[in-house]
Amino acid sequence: MAVALIAAGGLGGAVLYNSTGQRVAVLALARDVPWGQVITEDDLVVARIAGDPALRPVSAQDRAKAVGMRAATDLKRGAMLTGSDLAQGLSVQPGQIVVGVSAKRSQLPASRLQPGVQLVVVFTPDNGRADSLPATVITVGRVDTDGSQVIDVAVGTADGPRLAQWVASGRIQVLLAPRGAAAGGPGGTGPGPAPSGA
**Cα angle value 51/53/54 (rounded, 5°):** 110
Residue 157 pLDDT > 50: yes
Residue 14 pLDDT > 90: no
CB distance 184 to 136 below 8 Å: yes
Work out whether the CA dihedral 86, 180, 183, 185 comes out positive or negative. Answer: positive
pTM summary value: 0.53
Residue 23 pLDDT > 50: yes
Topology (CATH level 3) of domain 22-87: Type Iii Antifreeze Protein Isoform Hplc 12 (3.90.1210)
Residue 135 pLDDT > 80: yes
Helix, strand, or coil (residue 75): strand
Helices H, strands E: what count in the chain?
3, 9
DSSP labels, 88-150: SS--PPTTEEEEEEEE-GGGS-SSPP-TT-EEEEEE--SSS--EEEEEEEEEEPPPPTTS-EE
Give the pLDDT score at 174.
95
Tens of pLDDT along 75-100?
999 999 998 888 776 667 788 999 99
- Phi/psi at 62 (nearest 5 deg)? -100, 20
Residue 184 pLDDT > 60: no
Residue 109 pLDDT > 80: yes
Domain ranges of the chain: 22-87, 96-176
For residues 135 and 98, give the distance between their C-alpha atoms in angstroms, rounded to a whole number.
9
